[in-house]
Chains A and B, each alone.
Chain A
Amino acid sequence: MFLKRAIDKPQMFYSIVALLALAFLKIVEVKPNRIAGGEKYTAYALIGLPVLILLGGFLVMAVLSLSPSRRKSLMSIICGALLFVLLMFLMGRKGEELSAGSPAIRVSLSMGFYIVLVMLYLLFGHAIKGKDPTSRIIKLIAGVVIISVIVMVYMGSFDAFSIMKEYQIKRNQFVDSVRTHLFLSLGSVLAGALIAIPLGYLAYRKKNLERAVMVPLSIVETIPSLSLFGILLVPLAGLGRIGFFRALGISGIGWAPAFVALTLYTLLPIGRNTLVGFISVSKDVIEAAMGMGMNKSQIFRKIEFPLALPIIITGVRIALVQTIGGAVLAGLVGGGGLGTFVFLGLGEGSPDLVLLGVIPIIFLTLTMDGILKSVIVRIGRRK
């Protein structure tokens, strides 16, 4: 009966790695204050016996990988979600206990925790594969997990963790940075779309212009971003000397070069997808539309554009995801945004400060990606 049983190898592997990491690696470092060196704890040393529940949970996940049941992935998702929430809860409670003794105490996350986190992420991704990510049950589970974490953060469970301490110190700056980051990324993608969609359409309409339009966009994409900031420094500094532009806040450093550079990088994905979107409209469909007496503008409005739209939006989605990440570099040229924390953290050797910048970036990226994906699905389903 053990013959020919299909083992879900990835799930087995991820569960066992998480199990081992949780059992043997240090999951946190507890420091008496920000500067002093601390002591590292394994999960057992930190949490105590309840860690057995967690270990048991990962064992269950590993055993599930042997199961041929069709409900296996759903059970894995639920199990993983419970494990994650429980881990956060136990760590948070222990953190509270520790900080009750001394408010200066800081708990930093260590390798073991990150490995468990990454494995859980991979397990989710693996279990969700082939499932409709918009299905109700998955939305429900994701909602429960997110709300539990938010509630725990709000209740102060993680106040002892240094990432939260960094947040407390920089709270005002944090909100500002998120806002700047959003403005930079959404704004530059919008500007990029306004430029690149007409360019892509132009390249489609006028075959002989295709290379003239697309080649420069590809070249822009090959310039490393730091060099692009350097290149932009001179003209923007010059522009900043003119009263009107100075009033807008344009200068060689600050938000302007970041905005311009990010916009330039969005042109290729959006422009190319626009071109591909229009090219992919079947010639027969256009022929039929013409043959029935539609004029050029009707063919564009009713046929070509709606059919190209899902591919164009995919281009916008790629550009947006790329830009939210890329906007980190604005931190380097004084453009603000979450990159400020990342580079400050790197400078001060404080990984928690880096995380304070990176975690919202991941969150923003996933949210925007999800929103645009569902827009595309909706357009595709439209009757």
Chain B
Amino acid sequence: MIRLIDVFKDYEGYEAVKGISLEVKEGELYVLLGPSGCGKSTTLRLINRMVERTSGDIFVEGEHVDAIQVETLRKKMGYVIQSTGLFPHMDVAANIATVPHLLKWDEKRIKERNREMLELVGLDPEVYLKKLPRELSGGEAQRVGVARALAADPHILLMDEPFGAVDPISRLRLQKEFKEIQKKLKKTVIFVTHDVEEALLLGDKICIMRDGIVVQEGTPEQVILKPVDQFVQDFFGKEGALSLLARFKAKDYKEETRVEGEPLSDDASLKEALSEMILRSEDRVALDSGSISLEAIMKLIRGEHG
């Protein structure tokens, strides 16, 4: 659990963060969302004290961050950044083992953990353990970045636009896979992004920031359906509501009725199902052994409004 109480950060006259209070529950994926310069990255970096706050209090798992030695604090939290920050002179294995090494795990345990982590992020250990970062594609490097952050099994994960530098197709795949990983591991994650779709897809809770303050905090449904002001409404735009559908899997709303046509893939979302309906001009599209109907989607939406 992470709690920020009235936190300020003042950069020589420029206030990046102006009195933020928020609480992240255990096992929750908490998204800090906002335009660039809104203070979301700074807020994240205040938590592992990469940036020292000017005033206010931050508690991590009940302990005040100042009460713990700063390196110890950081080792308790996985940290993933946009540029991956992989160490170019170390192979993938050594990169992943960074924190376990710092924690002086024994070699055997580190080796096992390396393999486990690579498998978790969908990379074949035989192929990747000995590769150098410069031999990886952007998507692979970011997977290794996530594996490295998770290696010492921290309860908390801090992610600063982790998929921002990856091409759109790999990004969507990484997002979906990360969602699966998170479902399994139930880490407490603080996730910074400016990408509305990413926030809606991944977040359990979304905190919208602007000019160093919190504008609105809530579940994706709440922020989309009940925006507190024009800024939030404009930020999500008219398609925001559509992106909300990306959170739901089509197969969870499957009906027995069989229809003609190519079935959607197993991990297709309601958003993809809806767009298929538009493309095929049908109100029902096939799934693997069944189908999804426009009516089912509407029912879900009405439910959310109610």
Contact = CB atoms under 8 A, between A and B. Distances in A.
A287 B74 contact: no
A151 interface: no
A383 B90 CA distance: 6
Contacts of B149: 292
A284 B85 contact: yes
Interface in A275-302: 282, 284-285, 287-295, 298, 302
Contacts of A288: 79, 81, 84-87
B91 interface: yes
Interface in B69-117: 71-75, 79, 81, 83-91, 98-99, 102
B226 interface: no
Closest CB pairs A-B (n = 9): A288-B85, A293-B75, A293-B74, A291-B79, A284-B83, A284-B85, A293-B71, A383-B91, A295-B71
15 contacts: A284-B85, A287-B50, A288-B85, A288-B86, A288-B87, A289-B85, A290-B50, A291-B158, A292-B98, A292-B149, A293-B71, A293-B75, A294-B98, A306-B89, A307-B89
Interface residues of B, number: 26
A291 B74 contact: yes
Interface of B: 48, 50, 71-75, 79, 81, 83-91, 98-99, 102, 130, 132, 148-149, 158
A303 interface: yes
Contact of B85 (A287, A295, A383): A287
Nearest to B82: A284
Interface residues of A, number: 19
A287 B81 CA distance: 9
Q: Which among B87, B91, B102, B132 has the highest number of chain A CB atoms within 10 Å?
A: B87
Contacts of B79: 288, 291-292
Mostly, the A contact residues are helix
B81 A298 contact: no
B87 A298 contact: no
A382 B89 contact: yes
A103 B86 CA distance: 70
Given A285-B87, A306-B89, A383-B91, A291 B75 contact: no
A293 B72 contact: yes
A291 B99 CA distance: 10
B85 A285 contact: yes
A306 B148 CA distance: 20
A282 B89 CA distance: 12
A289 B98 CA distance: 9
Q: Which interface residue of B86, B89, B91, B130 has the most chain A CB atoms within 10 A? A: B89
A359 B99 CA distance: 54
A288 B78 CA distance: 10
